[in-house]
Amino acid sequence: MRNLPFDTVLIANRGEIAVRIIKTLRELELRSAVVYHDLDAGAPAVSMADMAIPIIGRMPVAAHLDTAQIIAAAREASAGAIHPGYGFLSENADFARAVVESGFAFVGPTPEIIHLMGDKIQARNFVQRNGFPVVPSAIEEDDPASFIQRARSIEGPLLVKASAGGGGKGMRIVRDLDTLEDAIAQARSEAQRYFGDGRLYIERYIEKPRHIEVQLLGDCFGNVVHLFERECSVQRRFQKVIEEAPASTLSPGLRERICETAVSIARAANYRNAGTVEFIVHGGEFYFLEMNTRLQVEHPVTEMITGIDIVAEQLYVAGGYELRFSQPDIVSTGHSIEARVYAEAPERGFAPTTGKVLVLDYPSGPGLRIDSGISQGQQITTAFDSLLAKVIVHSSTRNEAALTAQRAMQELVLLGCETNASFLACVLADEQFLRGQVHTGYLDENPQLTACDSASDLSTFLAAAALLTRPVRDSADAVPELHASLGGWRNA
């Protein structure tokens, strides 16, 4: 183990990713500190961290977006570094700069790179300039007056996106150009609220593409390696649901070209720390989508196939170390699948669900990893993201991994707040998924998956519910024995 220039790391995040980071900090014998909003007081990250510092905000999300409070918390914790996790301030260049200027190490790339890549338009232009493929688009700030005009001239359905965005926030598909202006207004409002930046751009919406992304690691010495690709095509509402590595149906040649392209982009940007280049792949073509300058939600699948702890590498890079391996050292073994457990009701249009976690029991076994951010007794609200936990499996083949993941989804017991676990189990057992024939529109085209097991075992569930309901049992017990034994007898 190498010595790092800091002994305490403040995690400016919550939920499963905070827990995930704490685990690596423990491995590296570093102290962990975490900021939390009152709503998360009972969350596992808060109890697991060596220190937990409350932050406040008019809206819970706002607390986590408050740079000043977080830096104050880092000082209070005597932290030497701040890990932003994903979401919140992880891709905010101003935050990264404030962190660095306040004397802390920022576990992520430089503010300049975040700025470059965090602004989708700049990133796109940068990539295009360096000769890599991008999707036809209209960028608002090129000339705001003609923005809508230019958008209308792009052929095909359109996708409105926030320049500063990610994670599906502020996105709208427009198939009917009459609704374009409404979509722009809604997207701008969301973008303004989530990212504090209402700028938009519009690109051609490519139907049925695959979403392929490449995990990268770079250091301050100009080394950049890729940790192979991930496929994240199983999505709903631009939200990834099931991710896997490696991508199931990429030809070796295309796979290599994509990974090489990602590394080249990162090199051109003088990238350091962990990052991900996302592509959309259609047929044999691929286009640059965006670069995420942070740890991804789905990073565990890469960790499973490469055996590399990406968070540990982030910390070493942030601590000034050179990467411990070069490209040929990185080997992919087997197949990994991650399924995201959300607090949502797939059968009701994926509406968010809330409730108190009354029973929580995760499956365990070989090749199974659970990244969970919740614990029994915790209240699930809509104040934050609805991601509750990630179930990650690693097997020698894709089919085995899918089967293991499906079983894990069935064994996972989370009562008190409805989740998408049964839906995930259905998807993992779906023929089309098992054949690898997925694209980003796959879930939308297969709405039956949200109700694939709605009728089965109904009477067994009703029986258990009846036996657990006091008035139902009482009315059975109240009937005299003789009459119960005679049943619904009627004379003649």
Partner 1 sequence: MNHVFELEGVDYQLWLSRWQQGYRLHFGDEVLASLDLSHQGDGCGLLTVAGASEPVRFAVDGDTIHLHIRGRTRVLRYRDPLSAHALVKKDAGLLVARAPMPGVVVQTSVSAGDQISAGTALMVIESMKLESVIRSPQDGVVDRIHFNEGESFEHGAVLVTITEEGH
Partner 2 sequence: MQRLASLIDVNSREFRLNELHNRRLAAELKERQRAVRLERPERDRERLRRQNKLFVRDRVEALLDPETPFLELSTLAANAAYDGEVPSAAQVVGIGIVAGREVIVHADDSSVKGGAWYPLSVKKIVRSLDIAIENRLPVVHLCDCGGGFLPLQAEFFADRHHAGRIFRNQSILSKMGVPQVALVVGQCIAGGAYVPALSEYNVIVQGSGAIFLGGPSVVQVATGQHVSVDELGGADMQTSVSGTADHLADSEMHAIAIARDIVARFKHPEKASIDRVAPEPPAYDASELYGIIPRDPRVHFDMREILARLVDGSRFHEYQPRYGRSLVCGFARLHGYQIGVLANNGVLFDDSALKGAHFIQLCDMNRTPLLFLQNITGFMVGREYERRGITKNGAKLLMAVSGAAVPKFTVICNHSHGAGTFAMAGRAFDPRFLFTWPQAQISAMGADQATRVLTDVKAKQLAVDDRPLSAQDYEATRQSILEEYRKRSSAYYATSEIWDDGILDPVDTRTALAIAVSASLNAPIETPHYGIFRM
3-state secondary structure of 76: helix
Residue 455 contacts which entry, partner 1, partner 2, none (Cβ below 5-8 A, type-dependent): none
Stretch that binds partner 2, among 268-276, 309-317, 413-421, 483-491 (CB under 8 A): 483-491
Say which residues have a Cβ less than 8 Å from residue 373's Cβ, sequence separation at least 6: 14, 15, 16, 17, 18, 19, 43, 44, 45, 387, 388, 389
Question: How many positions of this chain bind partner 1 (CB under 8 A)?
Answer: 66
Tell me which of 41, 68, 331, 476 binds partner 1, using CB under 8 A.
476
Omega cis (within 30) before 246: yes
Q: Which is nearer to partner 1, 106 or 423 (CB)?
A: 423
Please give the distance of CA 154 from its chain centroid, rounded to a whole number. 30
Task: Please report, as residue ranges, which positions from 200 to 239 form the binding site for partner 1 (by CB under 8 A).
Answer: 237, 239
Residue 486 contacts which entry, partner 2, partner 1, none (Cβ below 5-8 A, type-dependent): partner 2
- Our finding on whether 475 is near partner 1 (CB under 8 A) is yes
Residue 489 contacts which entry, partner 1, partner 2, none (Cβ below 5-8 A, type-dependent): partner 2
- How far is Cα 108 from Cα 83, in angstroms, rounded to an integer? 7
Enter the tokens of residue 57. 């905000």
CB of 379 to partner 1, least distance (A): 10
CB of 356 to partner 1, least distance (A): 7
Stretch that binds partner 2, among 349-357, 382-390, 409-417, 479-487 (CB under 8 A): 479-487
Q: Is 100 exposed, middle or buried (0-12, 13-18, 19+ CB in 10 A)?
A: middle
Enter the tokens of residue 267. 């090199």
- Our finding on whether 470 is near partner 2 (CB under 8 A) is no
- Our finding on whether 484 is near partner 2 (CB under 8 A) is yes
294 is catalytic: yes
Q: Which is nearer to partner 2, 448 or 469 (CB)?
A: 469
- Our finding on whether 479 is near partner 2 (CB under 8 A) is yes
The one-letter amino acid at 80: G
Task: Please report, as residue ranges, which positions from 356 to 415 form the binding site for partner 1 (by CB under 8 A).
Answer: 356, 358-359, 361, 381-383, 407, 409-411, 413-415
Tell me which of 60, 111, 209, 319 binds partner 1, using CB under 8 A.
60
- How far is Cα 203 from Cα 137, in angstroms, rounded to an integer? 4
Residue 208 contacts which entry, partner 2, partner 1, none (Cβ below 5-8 A, type-dependent): none
Say which residues have a Cβ less than 8 Å from residue 216's Cβ, sequence separation at least 6: 224, 225, 226, 227, 262, 263, 266, 271, 274, 275, 276, 277
Q: Which is nearer to partner 2, 131 or 487 (CB)?
A: 487
- Our finding on whether 463 is near partner 2 (CB under 8 A) is no
- How far is Cα 133 from Cα 346, in angstroms, rounded to an integer? 35
Q: Which is nearer to partner 1, 26 or 175 (CB)?
A: 175
CB of 45 to partner 1, least distance (A): 20
Question: How many positions of this chain bind partner 2 (CB under 8 A)?
Answer: 16
- Our finding on whether 351 is near partner 1 (CB under 8 A) is yes
3-state secondary structure of 222: coil
3-state secondary structure of 329: helix
3-state secondary structure of 282: strand
- How far is Cα 49 from Cα 46, in angstroms, rounded to an integer? 6
CB of 425 to partner 2, least distance (A): 35
Say which residues have a Cβ less than 8 Å from residue 191's Cβ, sequence separation at least 6: 162, 163, 164, 165, 169, 170, 197, 198, 199, 200
- How far is Cα 321 from Cα 219, in angstroms, rounded to an integer? 7
Interface with partner 1 (CB under 8 A): 57-60, 62, 168-169, 186, 189-190, 193, 237, 239, 347, 350-356, 358-359, 361, 381-383, 407, 409-411, 413-416, 418-419, 421-422, 425, 453-454, 456-469, 471-473, 475-477, 479, 481, 484, 487
Active site members: 294
